[in-house]
């Protein structure tokens, strides 16, 4: 990294035993204020609907064969987006122990956490429900960025915020965090980094605390198989290395580079011109202290927070600006269908749906080739055809009746039929029934923007303005993604 790295290399390593200098401890209680709802228990059916029957399209992360736990994006009935972690069926055989752990983690509420909102424990099913963070993981922005590398000021902010999150959890009696890494750090709509609450619980009652490469695990864990608060500090040190280097460097290799004063190999070349000598020296020194072989020689979280606080740069700049990502407050251009749903212009919606036909509905597009199956099948298809004729002629009562006959047979699942019946319900002043149909359309086709647009129209009609705006924005995003892919 040119001359900047040379200056950093000459003064960064001061030995393994130097203390971390503490600055004045900032007021952290403000981070405890959160608008997250109280922890609650969900039914499995609620979460099945929220995730569109655990659709593959809604998977946001999954682990390997040793810990096959999958995280899905979902949306509750009140339109709140959530992350739903579904455990392997063999995990947590003791339901009482699972509930106790989940309830304890669910008591935490902090703006530095992606908070746990609830859980589900029915039969063999074990699920956790957390706040959904839509702006990807630290690993994505640090290792696999598309448009711009993460700025130095943002990396320092990540370090501070995650240290604050861990300190808060420790103060609330949850000092153990399992497998802290760049995939456990998420970014909210505002671009602020949050620590995933899922790491506060093991993958299972008897599961391992670490699933990453052994080169990144604390040395005492390799000896005893147990995680301690000091182990979390070691993992935080590996996280600091990630932030400094922009790569996932094994701690032993990084320490060798530091001892040899070879920081050009350690420091991310993308930070050219951003990284000051003093800041780089201090962060490398903090990381080195966290990675001490002996647990007792590592700093505590309070000293980490107070050491990281004065390093912060561009504190007045919002995180989403530093990250170069859009924020929730920014408006998105709406398509004609979006505008019609915003204005609840049902006539315009009808014209668009009629023109669209079934071209977004793969199942319905091929069904006519199976008309000779059975008399029952022929009757079912005739019900849909009659419904389509009634819908086109704006005879919405007849459309509801015919589409209901088609749906009740249950042989074919057509999101377009649900969408058309939903609009027919709106035309018939039955907005709740219309909303129910949009949910069913989403279960069949989770990424279909039409269903989300009609959901917004139904919610606007019901007077649920805030939820309608969320659904409208989600529909616009899905439509934009569809257009981009095509």
**Catalytic residue IDs:** 179
118 bridge partner residues: 40, 129
Concatenated DSSP letters of 34-73: --PPPPEEPPHHHHHHHTTTT-GGGEEEE--TTS--EEEE
Residue 291 makes CB contacts below 8 A (sequence gap 6+) with: 234, 237, 238, 241, 251, 254, 255, 298
Listing DSSP states for 66-116 in one string gives: TS--EEEEEE-TT--EEEEEE--TTS---HHHHHHHHHHHHT---TTEE-E
CA 257 from chain centre, in angstroms, equals 35
Q: Residues 96-103: contacts with CB within 8 Å, 24+ apart?
A: 97/205, 98/126, 98/205, 99/41, 101/201, 102/39, 102/128, 102/201, 103/39
Q: Looking at residue 16, what DSSP letter applies?
A: S
Which residues, 6 or more positions from 136, have their beta carbon under 8 angstroms from its beta carbon? 186, 187
Distance CA 284, CA 20 (A): 11
In sequence order, what are the beta bridge partners of 137?
186
Check residue 369 and give left, alpha or beta (phi > 0: left; psi -120 to 50: alpha): alpha
Q: What DSSP character marks residue 12?
A: S
Would you tell me how many other CB atoms lie within 10 Å of the CB of residue 288? 23
Laid out side by side, the sheet with 70-75 consists of 40-41, 116-122, 125-131, 81-86, 70-75, 59-62
Q: Is 203 helix (H, G, I), strand (E, B) or coil?
A: coil
* Tokens standing for residue 13: 């390593």
Alpha helix positions (H), 330-464 = 336-342, 346-356, 362-365, 375-392, 396-409, 415-427, 431-444, 449-461
Q: In terms of Cα–Cα distance, which of 401, 418, 428, 417 is closest to 346? A: 428
């Amino acid at each position: 990294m040119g001359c900047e790295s040379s200056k950093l290399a000459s003064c960064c390593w001061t030995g393994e035993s130097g203390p971390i200098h503490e600055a004045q401890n900032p007021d952290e209680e403000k981070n405890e204020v959160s608008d997250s709802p109280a922890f609650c228990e969900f039914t499995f059916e609620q979460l099945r609907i929220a995730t569109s029957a655990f659709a593959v399209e809604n998977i946001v992360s999954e682990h390997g064969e040793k810990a096959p736990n999958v995280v899905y994006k979902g949306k509750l009935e009140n339109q709140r987006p959530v992350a739903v972690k579904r455990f392997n069926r063999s995990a947590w055989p003791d339901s009482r122990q699972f509930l106790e752990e989940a309830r304890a983690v669910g008591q935490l509420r902090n703006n530095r956490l992606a908070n746990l909102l609830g859980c589900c424990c029915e039969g063999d099913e074990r699920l956790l429900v957390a706040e959904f963070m839509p702006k990807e993981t630290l690993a994505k922005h640090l290792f696999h960025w598309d448009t711009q590398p993460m700025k130095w000021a943002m990396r320092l902010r990540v370090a501070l915020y995650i240290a604050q999150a861990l300190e808060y959890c420790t103060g609330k009696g949850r000092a153990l965090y399992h497998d802290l890494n760049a995939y456990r750090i998420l970014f909210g709509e505002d671009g602020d980094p949050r620590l995933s609450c899922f790491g506060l619980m093991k993958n299972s009652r008897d599961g391992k605390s670490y699933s990453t490469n052994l080169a990144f695990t604390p040395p005492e864990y390799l000896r005893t198989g147990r995680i301690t608060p000091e182990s979390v500090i070691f993992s935080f040190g590996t996280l600091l290395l990630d932030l400094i280097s922009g790569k996932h460097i094994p701690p032993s290799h990084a320490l060798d580079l530091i001892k040899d004063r070879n920081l050009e190999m350690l420091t991310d070349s993308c930070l050219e011109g951003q990284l000051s000598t003093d800041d780089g020296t201090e962060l490398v020194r903090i990381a080195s202290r966290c990675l001490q072989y002996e647990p007792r020689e590592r700093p505590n979280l309070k000293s980490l927070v107070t050491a990281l606080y004065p390093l912060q740069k561009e504190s007045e700049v919002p995180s989403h600006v530093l990250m170069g990502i859009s924020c929730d407050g920014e408006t998105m251009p709406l398509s004609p269908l979006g505008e019609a749903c915003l204005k609840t212009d049902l006539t315009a919606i009808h014209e668009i749906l009629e023109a669209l036909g079934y071209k977004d509905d793969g199942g319905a597009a091929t069904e006519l080739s199976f008309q000779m199956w059975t008399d029952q099948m022929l009757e079912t298809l005739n019900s849909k055809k009659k419904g389509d004729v009634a819908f086109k002629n704006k005879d919405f009562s007849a459309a509801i009746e015919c589409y209901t006959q088609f749906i009740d047979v249950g042989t074919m699942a057509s999101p377009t039929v649900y969408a058309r019946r939903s609009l027919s319900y709106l035309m018939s002043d039955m907005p709740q029934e219309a909303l129910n149909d949009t949910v069913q359309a989403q279960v069949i086709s989770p990424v279909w923007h039409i269903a989300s647009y009609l959901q917004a129209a139904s919610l606007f009609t019901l007077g649920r303005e805030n939820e309608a705006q969320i659904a409208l924005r989600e529909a616009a995003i899905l439509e934009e993604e569809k257009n981009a892919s095509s």
